[in-house]
Amino acid sequence: MLSPAVALGCALLLAQAGGDADTEARPPDVATRPAEEPGAPTVLQPPASPLPMQNPDTLTVCLTLPPTKAVPSGKWRAQCDDSTRRCLVAPVYELDADGLETDRPLERVGLCTDETYVPDAARLKTYRLEPAIADSPAGWYRDERGRVMQFNFDLNRRVWLGGAWSPLSRDGNVQGRMRADFGIAVEVPSGDKKLHRFRFLESELYLGEPSFELTALRYDFSVERDEPLFRITTFFGEPRRHDISINLGLWMEWLHVEELERGRSKAGFLTWGAMHATLDLWHSSDLVSYVRVRAGPSVERDYKNGFNTLVPGAALEGDLTLDRDGFHHLHMAVEAEKVLLAEEVAGRPLRPERLRVGAGYEAILLAINDQPLSLVVDGRGVWRSDLVHVPAQWEWSASAGLRFSLWAPARRSAPMAPAARE
């Protein structure tokens, strides 16, 4: 009986030793171990749908994690919350269409602190690591592959180049024309209560009926006055106070050139300078959109006839951005001018007049390299008596074309990326 007992004991010992060896050789199943457990291996959680987005105002740490099939470099951007022991992680490089890492670094991301400069970086790797989309600045959106794109545009700050079909109707006849336009627009806020606007080299060139218009520089500003000019109190029931603010501003123009032909009549006018006082009847809280009246004098040279004139004028105009992301823009104006101190010219009145009306609409269709391409339509009417041997009458034009903006940053009020999902 002793020999079988000894043999059985040896067999059990050998079996136990073999089982322990197999256990040590087999790697642990990391997916079944919680990441919060001290000393646990790094675990990347399954992605949520939709993926959460990192915050550009939160500290970001560049972590090196174990390589995966999708991200073999192991380079990740992490934003961690110590209270929840949770990190939102996004690859440092863009992904391709198959979700695999490329060699293109993410564009327009915030700074990332290398883990070597973070004392507790090793502890962060034990947190719950959840896949996310890297941060992006206001007005920009990043997709699941890490590619960034602009979704908010400021059409009041840009360089534009456009073309349009712009037929002219006069005397019941329609003349086909093409129009090319160019300009530079800049807006500079001064605190929350004042906004300066600049327009450089704003120009229109018509082909088919030779004429062009160019303004070297135009400047104006809108302001929100803190102190009301009038305080009106009413006594119908409980006394109530009504504050009336008069938001006066300034509009100036330098070197405005207009040259045109109507049949055999040719005219050319150079405005040396104009200065108008403005009154905002309404403006938006950010002062970007407005409806206003303006009036004042300008000094103009009739360079075809060789003399200078004084031209007082007045206008009612509006400039409106119709949506949050700047995709829809509306402009309208009614303007009247009278030419004074002119010399007598045969074939036209001594004191000619001009009246212009117009409205235009612009809508962004798409963006090429984050530069918007927009549809532009407008209608205009002009009545003028300053053309020699041309009867004063209305002429009308309508335009439809495209405009490409070479630079159009996000609006100052642009929302963060999550708003692009709404």
Residues 171 and 275 in one domain: yes
* Domain membership of residue 306 as a residue range: 158-421
CB 294 within 8 A of CB 276: yes
Residues 113 and 164 in one domain: no
41-98 pLDDT, tens per residue?
567 899 999 999 999 999 999 999 999 999 999 999 999 999 999 999 999 999 999 9
Residues 130 and 175 in one domain: no
For residue 9, being part of any structural domain is answered with no
Residues 232 and 344 in one domain: yes
Residues 170 and 73 in one domain: no
For residue 19, being part of any structural domain is answered with no
Residues 220 and 135 in one domain: no
Which pLDDT belongs to residue 171? 85
Which pLDDT belongs to residue 269? 98
For residue 16, being part of any structural domain is answered with no
Residues 182 and 85 in one domain: no
Which pLDDT belongs to residue 42? 66
Residues 144 and 242 in one domain: no
Which pLDDT belongs to residue 41? 56
Question: In the chain, which residues have pLDDT < 70?
Answer: 1-42, 422
For residue 4, being part of any structural domain is answered with no
For residue 153, being part of any structural domain is answered with no
Of 124, 148, 172, which marks where a domain is finished? 148
For residue 26, being part of any structural domain is answered with no
Residues 270 and 165 in one domain: yes
Question: What's the pTM?
Answer: 0.84
Of 103, 121, 148, which marks where a domain is finished? 148
- Number of domains the chain is built from: 2
Nearest to 131 by CA among 189, 85, 78: 78
CATH number of the domain within which 317 lies: 2.40.160.40
Of 148, 166, 193, which marks where a domain is finished? 148
For residue 234, being part of any structural domain is answered with yes
Residues 93 and 209 in one domain: no
For residue 247, being part of any structural domain is answered with yes
Residues 337 and 198 in one domain: yes
Residues 239 and 190 in one domain: yes
Which pLDDT belongs to residue 43? 74
